[in-house]
Structure 1
C-alpha cells in the first residue's frame, strides 16, 4: 500500500493533447511553496506538451509523470493518479487552469473547518476573473434539464418549479452547501475519495464530476463550494481541437448519468424518449462540429 502524507496535498492533472496551456498550469502549481506533489497523468498525448513540461520541470522532485499507452478517459486517468498519490487531500485540476500560490493552504483550511465536507469546489473564473458557468449546480434531473434546454429556467426566481441545472452566482462570499460544483477543480479528502471508490470509470469524458458529487452526497458527506478560493480556467481550451469527439462522449455520459440516477429512467417510455432525444441532439450538432474540427486541423 502506498504511504500517505499528513498535510501533503496531491494535485492530479490529466493531459490529453492539452496544448501550451498545460505548461502554464504546471508552472502555476509548482510556484507554490506548500507541501504538495503534482501527479501528471498523460493520456497518450502526441502534441509534445508533456515533453515540454518535463524539459522545464524534470528536476523538481514534486512532479511525477504517469504515461498511459492510450487515452483512457478523464475519470480512469484520475483514478490512476490517485492510486500513486501520497497526500491526504486530493485536488483534481483541469490542465487549462491557473492557480494561486496559496491554493493548497486555502483548500486545507476550508476542509479543516468542517469535517463533514466530502467534496469541495471553488470559484472557477474565466481568465479575466469573471465567474464561470456551472460553479454551483443542481443535480441534472430530467425535469431540470428540460427546463434549462427550453429556457424556462430563466423564470425560476418567480416559479421555483422551473429551476434548471445551473444556479446563479452566489450572492455572498461564504461557504455554501450545493448539489454539484465545477469539475475544473475538485477537492476531496483522501478518505472520502477512497470510500466511494473514486471516479466511475464508465464515463470517458463529462458527467463524471456530477457522478462523483452525487456519490459523495449519497455517502453522507457534504458537497460545498468556497467562492473565496479562485481558480482561473480557459474553459474548453483542451478540447477545441476535437469538438465532435468531445460531444459524442458528452452525450454518452449524459445517458449513463440519467440511467444510473434519475428515477424517470425506470419508466420504459421515458427512457426510450430520452435516449432518442440525446442522440438526436448529437446528430443535429455533428455536421457543424465535424466541420469546425476540420477547420481547426487545417490551421
Structure 2
C-alpha cells in the first residue's frame, strides 16, 4: 500500500496503541512522540517494535505542525495521511481515501468522522469573507445560510483534519504543514494552501474513522480555554491568509463575537470573545 501514515502523539500510549493497531497492513506507519515522558516513550517504542511502525521521538513538544512535518521527513511513500493519535480507522477507509487521490484534481481527501457513540462529528466551514464577517456582526447569517462560517462537509471551503490524506507532491508544493501555529487551525491553513494550487478537497463519507475530539487538549485545558485558543487561531489564520480583505472580515466577525458576549454573557462566550481579540493582534 503506497501510503505513509503519520500518527502524532503526546503523553498518550493507550489511544496511540489503539490507533496504530487499527491501521491496515502494508501501510508505512510513523509514530511521532512529541516529547512524552520517558516511560510513555518507552512503551510507545516497544509498541512500534511489535507492530512494525517507525518510532520517531522529539525531546520537546513541537506542536502539531512541526511534529507532523518531522514525521513526514521520516516517511517514504508517495501518499501521506496525517493522523491524530485518538483516531480508530474502520476497515476499508484508507483504500477509499487513496482511490479519491487517484483523481489529479483532488488535493486532499477527508473521511467521515464519528465520535465514540457513532454520532457524525465531521466538521467543515467556509473561509471568513467580508460578507460572512458582516453577516455574523449584524445577525444576517441567521437568515442567510451562505453567510455562515459553518458548512456541510460536501460544500466546505475547509474540513477539520484529524485524519487527512494528501499526495506527497502536493504537500511538498505547499511547503508542508504550515508551522505558523503551535496548535489549532492547521487544517484551515492546509486547505487554503491546497485550494491555492487550484485543487479541490474531497469529502469521502465511505471512509469512516472514529475520533475522540480534543483528547490531548482536554487533558491540559478546560473547555473555555480550548474555545479561546481555537478562536484565536481561526481569526489569526483568516487574517493572515486573506490580506486586507481578511482584516476587514475578521474585524467584522470580532464585533459580532463581542456583541454576543455582551448580550449573552457566560464563560464560553467570554472565552471566545477573548480569543477573537487576541487573534486580531497575534503574530
TM norm. shorter chain > 0.5: yes
1:124 is aligned, of 113, 117, 124, to 113
Structure 1 position 260, deviation (Å): 1.2
Give the secondary structure class of the aligned counterpart of 2:216: coil
In structure 2, what is the Cα distance between the partners aligned to 1:105 and 1:268?
A: 39
Q: Determine helix, strand or coil for the equivalent of 2:217.
A: coil
Q: Answer yes or no: is 1:223 the counterpart of 2:201.
A: yes
- TM-score normalised by structure 2 residue count: 0.79
Distance 2:226 2:36 in 1: 16
More helix by share: 2
Aligned length: 262
Matched, 1:95 2:79: no
Shift of 1:97: 0.7
Q: Is the 8 A contact 1:121 1:225 kept in 2?
A: yes
Change (3 A) 1:268 1:101: closer
Distance 2:269 2:63 in 1: 22
Extract unaligned runs of 5+ from structure 1: 1-6, 170-175, 287-299
Q: Which residue of 2 aligns with 1:254?
A: 234
Map residues 36-185 of structure 1 onto 2, 5 A cutoff. Answer: 36-46=27-37, 48-61=39-52, 63-112=53-102, 114-134=103-123, 136-141=124-129, 143-144=131-132, 153=141, 155=143, 159-161=144-146, 163-168=147-152, 176=154, 178-185=156-163
Work out the CA distance in 1 between the residues paired with 2:39 and 2:139. 42
SS in 2 for 1:241: helix
Cα deviation code 1:75-134 (max 9, x no counterpart): 11111111121011110111101002323222211222x211011111111112221041
TM-superposed CA distance for 1:24, in Å, is 1.1
In structure 1, distance between residues paired with 2:59 and 2:211? 27
Q: CA RMSD in A?
A: 3.3
Residues 234-273 of structure 1 mapped to structure 2, 5 A cutoff: 234-243=212-221, 246-247=226-227, 249-262=229-242, 263-267=244-248, 270=251
State the distance in 1 between where 2:139 and 2:252 align: 22
Moved more, 43-52 or 252-261: 43-52
* Secondary structure of 1:187 counterpart: strand
SS in 1 for 2:218: coil
Shift of 1:60: 3.2
Q: Report the more deviating stretch, 97-106 or 68-77.
A: 97-106
Question: 1:254 Cα deviation (Å)?
Answer: 2.3
Q: Distance in 2 between matches of 1:168 and 1:269?
A: 22
1:21 maps onto 2:5 in alignment = no
Q: What secondary structure is seen at the aligned counterpart in 2 of 1:238?
A: helix
* C-alpha distance in structure 2 between counterparts of 1:69 and 1:132, whole Å: 33
